[in-house]
Amino acid sequence: MTLRIHRADFSDPRLAAFLQAHLDELAPTAPPESRHALDLSGLRQPGVRLWVGEWDDGIAATGALAALGQEHEEVKSMRTDPRRRGSGVGRAMLRHLLGDAVSRGVRQVSLETGSTEFFAPARALYAGAGFVVCGPFGDYRDDPHSVYMTLTAASAGGAEYASFACEAGAEPRCQFQKSTARCPGRTACCDEVF
């Protein structure tokens, strides 16, 4: 079995159900004012790019990038189907997001995640990719229910950060490609197979 990552099709009813399950799963983890997951309409906003990871015929993961500034984006709506957790699907989606960001010249990627034990696997995933804890960014404020993390080209050593474009996947499948991170025989792409 392989994971195929592609841009979201908002007309797919499976996507709406998957994202609603994400919101439902997060609801008991924090009070409403401390929940920052985007719903379907939020993910359709300009400046937000949503991907879906499919395994067989089902959605196994989602992940999005939301523009914060010219070279700064935020990871949003990272979710792995509970049946696929621990299988590397989340790591593959995160690498895809980072590869896309690098290919478009983004120099910093930040995120907000929960502070409770429920979110410990997510925090470990992000730390393993080089994210470090930081203060609130964008419109966020200090919140005991949130942990803020960031990854910059400088903190990742430049070449290592750019390597996410190479690690992200297989041969390019896009007709039009723009990449600032060059890899021998590969480039970050809108459609990858893992």
Q: β-strand 132-134 against 108-114: which pairing, if any? A: unpaired
pLDDT digits (tens, 9 = 90+) for 134-151: 999 999 999 999 999 999
Measured in Å, how far apart are the chain's first and last C-alpha atoms?
Answer: 9
- Under 8 Å between Cβ of 8 and 62: yes
pLDDT for 22 equals 82
**What is the CATH superfamily name and number for domain 3-193?**
Gcn5-related N-acetyltransferase (GNAT) (3.40.630.30)
Query: Could you give the CA distance from residue 114 to residue 120 in angstroms, rounded to a whole number?
Result: 8
Indicate whether 62 pLDDT > 80: yes
Residues 46-52, mean pLDDT to the nearest whole number:
95
Transcribe 162-192 into DSSP letters: HHHHHHT-SS---SS---SS-BTTB---SSE
Residues 83-97, mean pLDDT to the nearest whole number:
90
Report helix angle 89-103 to 159-167, nearest 10: 120
Please, which residues have CB within 8 angstroms of residue 88's CB and are 6 or more apart in sequence? Answer: none
Handedness of CA 32, 128, 130, 99 (dihedral sign): negative
What number of other Cβ atoms are within 10 A of residue 74's Cβ?
23
Q: Residue 175: exposed, middle, or buried by beta-carbon count in 10 A (0-12, 13-18, 19+)?
A: exposed
Handedness of CA 78, 83, 84, 86 (dihedral sign): positive
Phi first, then psi, for residue 67 (nearest 5°) are -70, 130
Beta-carbon-side half-sphere exposure of residue 19 (alpha carbons within 13 Å):
25
Pairwise pLDDT comparison (90 vs 87), residue with the higher score: 90
Q: Which tokens in the block code for residue 173?
A: 């499948």
Pairwise pLDDT comparison (75 vs 187), residue with the higher score: 75
pLDDT cut 70: percent of the chain above it: 78
- Global pTM reads 0.78
Query: Could you give the CA distance from residue 170 to residue 192 in angstroms, rounded to a whole number?
Result: 6
Query: Could you give the CA distance from residue 109 to residue 175 in angstroms, rounded to a whole number?
Result: 26
